[in-house]
Structure 1
Amino acid sequence: MKTLGLEATRANKTYKTGTEWYAWYMLQEFKKIDKENKFVVYYNRYLAGDLKKAPENFYFKSLPWPFEKFWTHIRLAWELLIHPVDKFFATNALPLFGRGEMIVTIHDLGFYKHPELYHPLERIYQKMSHRLAVFRADKIITISEASKADIISYFPKAKDKIKVIHLSYNQDSFKPISPEDRLKFMDIHDYPDNFLLYIGRLESKKNVLNLLKAYQKSSRKWPLVLAGRPGNYGYKEIEELVKHPDLKEDIIFLGYVNQENYPKLMACASGFVFPSKFEGFGIPILEAMASGVPVACSNIPALKEIGQEAVIYFDPDNTDDIQDKIEELFKNKELREKKITKGLARAKDFSWPKVAKETLEYILK
């Protein structure tokens, strides 16, 4: 029997995006598939929801820390130094010190490849944290072949300790919606019959500004719905453009959409657009494909790896190309149906139990 350490700070966040949901699913799935090894789950102050419900081989330890940053790097590090575990798995960052084998997931190196998309302080913090993770890790998990190539390009010595394990989406929630349920949901929330949907943070690295510029040039026969919270960098420019008289009547801001409404909103969309300049994976395009919604997204390596032939691709730096592909998504009925069919099939290749099984096998190897 091995003792495995896990940190639950990301899984414990109220407003979750890709990395937080990954942490949440790994913890929840590990509870289901391993009844033999001992798991010690570390967290700061309290655990929300069902996170603390677990079988007898799971133990939970609160490590209070008065500061917003560096809980993992310092407080957790001290705990692992005094009370080491056989293996410690982190879903995003490793402690500065501590004993036992260290395994970490590195999602992407966007702050290296596109530093202009990050706030300077965030860029410094991320570079420091990821350099430490690569240096300290005995094993590295990453979420796409594209991310693996990036890690090797910046850290060549890490090549032999990297394993690619794709992420997934909630298969129980994201599925095509019946016409009756769609009509009911649309009436309750007063959404238009046809709309183009973007879901994600409203910030520079998600390339929302270019999406708005492309949409401004389009025929705009369908509203653009933006679902997501303001990001840390670039939101002011997005907000200013949306206020333009030529745009403000055709754009709907929803803010953060809760997990009850999110899958229904996705399934009701006439099309989904994902214009990111950089991604390590791209869970939202999987969610859209599984919902039977045609997708237009950036032609960046990670998204092409995940979407394959099920998606319409555009150059994220070319607003004319973004405009053309969005128009095509709505106007070319034959292409829409083809992409929907391929998307539904492609989405079946992914599941969180599969991700957790492969991850745990690699940790225990």
Structure 2
Amino acid sequence: MSLLISEPALINVPCVVTIPDIQHEFFPEYFDSNILAWRDKFYEHSINTCKAVLTISEYSKKTIIDKYKIPEDKVYAIHLDSSQEFYEYHNEDMNQRVIDKYQLPNEFGFFPANTWHNKNHINLLKAMVILKKKFIVKINMVFTGSAHESIKSFINENDLSEQIKFLGYVPQEEMPYIYRNASFLTFPSLFEGFGIPLVEAMRTKTPIVCSNVGSILKVVGDCALLFDPLNPEDIALKITEVLKEPTRIELINKGINHAQKFTWDRCSKTTLEVLKRVAGEGS
């Protein structure tokens, strides 16, 4: 049984609503009927009632405007950033503890994500099969979270268990060290409102190979190798390219520069400016 909390039907003060994305409009099959009903009922009401809409990427802004037919200047795309742990200095003792705790391989690709359908784990695993059979490349992959049954079945049926490690829950202070030990971040998601792991990778000098869809394109700019997330062969090909040293160095250097676009200072200042403007209109 799901409990849905309704939003206020009538708001007597100027208000701002945050809508990170409208993924349900693109992939309704990934949501249960209660969530879909709630979003159908309240998203449009909230957007029409509020004075401003905050969202987390230019892609989300465009899709919200297109869906709800609202003025462009009512929606503000305000980028997020990685957590503070990704700004802290590297601690070699902590690094070794993380390696030992999770028994990390010497070389591996990293994909930090829940195993939701939109994260697209299966196509990444299919790419690993192609890498092993066609390219004769045996890649280790490390995932956060836990595998659901369909993923476990695919791994067992395709003899991938020795190449796969699911870490379960990883405390936030350990996450930067897993990135720093990874050969690359792979991010095959079918839909993202933003994609914070992309910024986390840039901050830890981890080269990125990722999907060429939605908000991901704007977040990574030119500092990632892009693939079609529905094409496992393309994913496999791009992984072989990200392993080449000249490509890795180029992507890392571009990522260091590109990461400067994302700061919590800029995020908070822009958010405060919107709130002040809305409050001023109501005075």
Change (3 A) 1:113 1:68: closer
Query: Is the contact between residue 85 and residue 176 of structure 2 (CA under 8 Å) also seen in structure 1?
Result: no
Taking the TM superposition and a 5 Å limit, the aligned residue runs for 1:1-365 are: 69-71=3-5, 73=6, 94-174=7-87, 177=90, 182-183=95-96, 185-219=98-132, 220-228=137-145, 235-330=148-243, 332-365=244-277
The answer for unaligned runs of 5 or more in structure 2 is: 278-283
Distance in 2 of aligned mates of 1:227 and 1:107: 23
Aligned partner of residue 277 in structure 1, secondary structure? coil
Q: How many aligned positions are there?
A: 273
Change (3 A) 1:238 1:174: farther
C-alpha RMSD of the superposition: 2.2
Distance in 2 of aligned mates of 1:176 and 1:327: 30
Aligned partner of residue 69 in structure 1, secondary structure? coil
Letter in 2 for 1:321: D
Relative contact order, higher structure (CA 8 A, sep 6+)? 2
Query: Is the contact between residue 170 and residue 351 of structure 1 (CA under 8 Å) also seen in structure 2?
Result: no
Aligned partner of residue 3 in structure 2, secondary structure? coil
Change (3 A) 1:68 1:174: farther
Distance in 2 of aligned mates of 1:150 and 1:307: 19
TM-score normalised by length of structure 1: 0.69
Distance in 1 of aligned mates of 2:93 and 2:239: 27
Aligned partner of residue 17 in structure 2, secondary structure? strand
Aligned counterpart, 2:281: none
Distance in 1 of aligned mates of 2:97 and 2:65: 49
Aligned partner of residue 18 in structure 2, secondary structure? strand
Distance in 1 of aligned mates of 2:201 and 2:100: 21
How far the C-alpha of 1:195 sits from its partner, in A, is 0.8
- Write out the 4+ residue segments of structure 1 that deviate beyond 6 Å after TM superposition: none
Distance in 2 of aligned mates of 1:348 and 1:116: 36
Cα distance per residue 1:61-92 (max 9 Å; x no partner):
xxxxxx97344x2xxxxxxxxxxxxxxxxxxx
Distance in 1 of aligned mates of 2:160 and 2:35: 31
Distance in 1 of aligned mates of 2:186 and 2:15: 37
Greater helix content: 2
Distance in 1 of aligned mates of 2:141 and 2:125: 9
Distance in 2 of aligned mates of 1:160 and 1:362: 11
How far the C-alpha of 1:258 sits from its partner, in A, is 1.3
Distance in 1 of aligned mates of 2:115 and 2:155: 12
TM-score normalised by length of structure 2: 0.88
The answer for unaligned runs of 5 or more in structure 1 is: 1-66, 74-93
Query: Is the contact between residue 143 and residue 166 of structure 1 (CA under 8 Å) also seen in structure 2?
Result: yes
Q: Percent of counterpart pairs with the same letter?
A: 32
